[in-house]
């Protein structure tokens, strides 16, 4: 059975930062997705974050057309991951998770998307706000990049 992975912005951004610690792992993840080893998913909330953050990274790197580069990156992502629209049910599930976990709302959307798809929510690392609820996150099928066997 192919693993369904729902990616957080932090995972995706590792790909475009040349000295990022998990860049090679994320590159392999995207390559394996093309081979069908994994099914990758990104919800529209994460997609908007990726567009914003990549635009800022490209701007700081001195690229003249940083916004165009960010749009190109988004288009490239869509060749490797399926974009999941946020509907009312997903929004309400994310809201319930926010009430229960007290973590960032975009992270709740990643977890809610994974739950809806019977997949795994993948984050770069355990954030400070996640530490108090790590056991709950584990029950919700949350994983971190260093744990992925790629």
For residue range 56-88, list pLDDT tens digits in order.
Answer: 999 999 999 999 999 999 999 999 999 999 999
pLDDT band at 2 (very low <50, low <70, confident <90, very high): confident
pLDDT of residue 115: 98
The pTM of this model reads 0.95
pLDDT of residue 35: 93
CA distance 102 to 97: 8
pLDDT of residue 94: 98
Domain count of the fold of the chain? 1
CATH code (residue 96): 3.40.50.1010
pLDDT of residue 98: 98
Containing domain of residue 101, as a range? Answer: 3-147
pLDDT of residue 114: 98
- Facing residues of 122 across strands? 7, 143
- Facing residues of 6 across strands? 41, 121
For residue 44 the two structure tokens come to 């529209």
* For residue 1, pLDDT beyond 80: no
Nearest to 12 by CA among 91, 85, 78: 78
Reduced to 3 states, what is the DSSP secondary structure of residue 41?
Answer: strand
For residue range 18-63, list pLDDT tens digits in order.
Answer: 899 999 999 999 999 999 999 999 999 999 999 999 999 999 999 9
- Facing residues of 38 across strands? 3
pLDDT band at 149 (very low <50, low <70, confident <90, very high): confident
DSSP 91: H
């Amino acid at each position: 059975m192919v693993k369904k992975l729902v990616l957080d912005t932090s995972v995706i951004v590792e790909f475009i930062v040349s000295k990022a610690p998990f860049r090679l792992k994320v590159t392999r993840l995207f390559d394996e997705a093309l081979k069908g080893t994994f099914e990758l998913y990104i919800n529209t909330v994460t997609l908007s974050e990726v567009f914003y953050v990549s635009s800022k990274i490209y701007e700081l790197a001195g690229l003249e057309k940083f916004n165009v580069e960010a749009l190109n990156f988004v288009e490239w992502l869509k060749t490797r991951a399926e974009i999941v629209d946020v509907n009312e049910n997903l929004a309400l599930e994310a809201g319930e998770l926010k009430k229960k976990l007290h973590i960032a709302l975009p992270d709740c959307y990643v977890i809610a998307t994974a739950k809806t798809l019977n997949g795994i929510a993948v984050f770069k690392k355990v954030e400070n706000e996640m530490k108090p609820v790590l056991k709950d996150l584990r029950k919700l099928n949350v994983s971190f990049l260093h744990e992925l066997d790629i």
